[in-house]
Copies of this chain bind each other. A is one copy, B any other.
Amino acid sequence: MTTKFEPLDSGSIPRYAGLPTFMRLPVAEPSEVDIAILGLPFDLGTTNRAGTRHGPRELRNQSSLMRRVHHVTGLSPYDRARIADCGDVITDPFDLMRSLDLISAHYASVRAAGALPLTAGGDHLISLPILRGLAADGPVGLIQFDAHSDTYDSFFNGSKYTHGTPFRRAIEEGLVDPRRFVQIGLRGAISDAGNYDYARDAGVRIIFIEEFVKRGVEDVMAEVHAIVGHQPTYVTFDIDGIDPSQAPGTGTPEIGGFSTREAQAMVRLLDGLDIIGADLVEVAPPFDPSGLTALTGATILFELLCVLAGVVEKKGTR
């Protein structure tokens, strides 16, 4: 497949030159592409250290270091699908509920345009309105890489829409099928012992980091395939799933996380699933002075992009 949606050639235009779009790609509308990379600058769902509103800009910036062809598969996503930077989703910094509606509407339109969305967040609350926009045909499967379950009921006088609660809402709203929902990498002390009960009672499979370490990437990912099966599945990757030595710039870091090696290996093993979209969330540049978190995030976005390109190729282009 030939396409005009190619990254700038770093052999003629240096990586430090040019506007920092995602992966150095052209800017386009979702209707022109198979995969739309979107920024979603937003942190109104954050309970402690904000800053993910600046995430998309730094992820774009660091994505200037990405290249064309995956060294393991030898394949380039840009040969397999039309891909572009489709800009930022605009929200309202003073109205949380209106922002959720703006996001849902945006993703419904991306879906209507026929593009698979790959989103650079933003705090983890954004996954809820994204799912509202995408899961129009019934509950989808969900694969969550994360240090936290994000299935609390509410915080602070009953606030139901925070970055600690999106997936309880998603189950309640019928956006996600809890029996096709798996969480990997959870760890860290919790506020009360019943913290994980809701998710477990609903049928969600929780793989704590200790189980993950014991079993290894391949065994865990085989189970993930078994859980979500061949039906439509969404992937959400919270950067705090990765160890803070490799991703310090996030609001709620937890030591003892995935290595980037493990993270990359897991994302590669998503290949073959029916992924309908993915996000990478919780990169908070004000806490990332070295830029390493955004670099890690940009590389995970590239890995996810390769998986999504495989989905496009398999289905055939529109």
The residues of A with any CB-CB pair to B shorter than 8 Å are: 9-21, 27, 39, 41, 43-44, 46-51, 53-54, 56-57, 60-61, 65-72, 74-76, 87-88, 90, 92-96, 98, 155-157, 159, 161-162, 186-193, 195, 208-210, 213, 243-246, 248, 252-256, 259-261, 264, 286-287, 289-290, 292, 295-296, 299, 302
Contacts and interface: CB of A to CB of B under 8 A. Distances in A.
26 contacts: A10-B48, A14-B47, A14-B90, A14-B156, A15-B47, A16-B49, A16-B53, A16-B57, A17-B56, A18-B87, A19-B20, A49-B54, A49-B286, A67-B191, A68-B190, A71-B186, A71-B190, A92-B159, A94-B156, A95-B156, A253-B295, A255-B264, A256-B260, A256-B261, A256-B264, A286-B287
A21 B295 CA distance: 21
**Best-buried of A14, A87, A286, A289 by chain B (most CB within 10 Å):** A14
A186 B67 CA distance: 14
- Chief secondary structure at chain A's binding surface: loop
A89 to B, nearest CB: 8
Contacts of A50: 43, 50-51, 53
Contact of A246 (B11, B71, B244): B244
B11 A292 contact: no
B27 A19 contact: yes
B57 A189 contact: no
Contacts of A51: 50-51, 286
A243 to B, nearest CB: 7
Q: Which 5 A-B pairs have the closest CB atoms?
A: A94-B159, A286-B286, A67-B189, A255-B260, A245-B245
A269 B44 CA distance: 40
Given A47-B10, A246-B245, A210 B72 contact: yes
Contacts of A286: 49, 51, 286-287
Contacts of A71: 186-190, 208
Contacts of A20: 19-20, 57
Nearest to A290: B248
Contacts of A259: 256
A273 to B, nearest CB: 21
Nearest to A12: B156
Nearest to A252: B65
Given A16-B54, A17-B56, A69-B190, 9 more contacts: A17-B88, A19-B27, A43-B50, A48-B65, A50-B51, A72-B210, A92-B157, A256-B261, A256-B264
